């Protein structure tokens, strides 16, 4: 298989480039004399120390950024949520009613509480029942349970009411 002149020249150029690269690598290796064992250990220790310094610097930057973002974004958001919760909080009774019930229940004053005071505390506590107990334990009364849904039901209801009235 005979190669043409240009093909030969191309292959020869590629081989020459490869030889030149190998020579350059050799020259670089000769410029760096091999290190002694102790020098290599010192170099490795210096590299480790530099890496530790870089890691510490990176960790410090991360912590500073987390602290900054916490100050700028998280804390204001949490404070706003807290303020909204405090503003939205509505008590189920005023302080006087609370103190009255508390005084009736407290062991020191239970024997000296008047019937009037106990009745007042009972009425306040009964009014607070719907707010204190959940729906499962204290169901809201149904509103208009037997409401008529059709015209025929309304007509029958009117007729029944009229019959009851006219009987008397």
pTM of the entire predicted model = 0.39
Domain assignment present for residue 64? The answer is yes
Nearest to 28 by CA among 20, 18, 38: 20
Residue 160 has a pLDDT of 86
Within 10 angstroms of residue 101's Cβ, the number of other Cβ atoms is: 19
Nearest to 157 by CA among 168, 167, 144, 147: 147
Q: Tabulate helix, strand, coil % of the chain (nearest 5).
A: 75, 0, 25
Task: Give the angle 158-161-163 at the CA atoms, nearest 5°.
Answer: 110
96-to-44, 93, 107, 133 alpha-carbon distances in Å: 77, 8, 19, 21
Residue 141 has a pLDDT of 65
Nearest to 106 by CA among 98, 96, 116: 98
Helix/strand number for the chain, H first, E second:
7, 0
Q: Give the sign of the dihedral formed by CA 128, CA 134, CA 136, CA 142.
A: positive
pLDDT in tens, 58-110: 999 999 999 999 889 988 888 888 888 878 777 777 888 888 888 888 777 76
Examine the domain organization and report whether 103 and 69 are in the same domain: no
Examine the domain organization and report whether 71 and 102 are in the same domain: no
Number of domains in the chain: 2
Domain assignment present for residue 161? The answer is no
Examine the domain organization and report whether 84 and 49 are in the same domain: yes
Residue 64 has a pLDDT of 92
pLDDT in tens, 82-94: 888 878 777 777 8
Domain assignment present for residue 54? The answer is yes
Domain that holds residue 104: 91-133
Domain assignment present for residue 26? The answer is no
């Amino acid at each position: 298989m005979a190669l043409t002149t240009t093909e030969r020249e191309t292959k020869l150029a590629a081989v020459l480039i490869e030889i030149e690269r190998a020579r350059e690598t050799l020259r670089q290796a000769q410029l760096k004399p091999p290190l002694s064992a102790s020098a290599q250990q010192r170099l490795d220790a210096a590299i480790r120390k530099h890496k530790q310094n870089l890691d510490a610097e990176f960790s410090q930057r991360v912590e500073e950024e987390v602290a900054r973002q916490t100050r700028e974004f998280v804390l204001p958001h949490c404070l706003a949520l807290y303020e909204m919760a405090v503003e939205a909080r509505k008590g189920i009774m005023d302080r006087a009613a609370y103190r009255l019930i508390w005084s009736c229940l407290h062991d020191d004053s239970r024997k000296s509480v008047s019937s009037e005071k106990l009745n007042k505390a009972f009425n306040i506590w009964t009014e607070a029942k719907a707010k204190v107990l959940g729906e499962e334990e204290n169901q809201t009364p149904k509103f208009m349970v037997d409401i008529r849904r059709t015209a025929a039901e309304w007509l029958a209801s009117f007729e029944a009411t009229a019959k009851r009235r006219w009987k008397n």
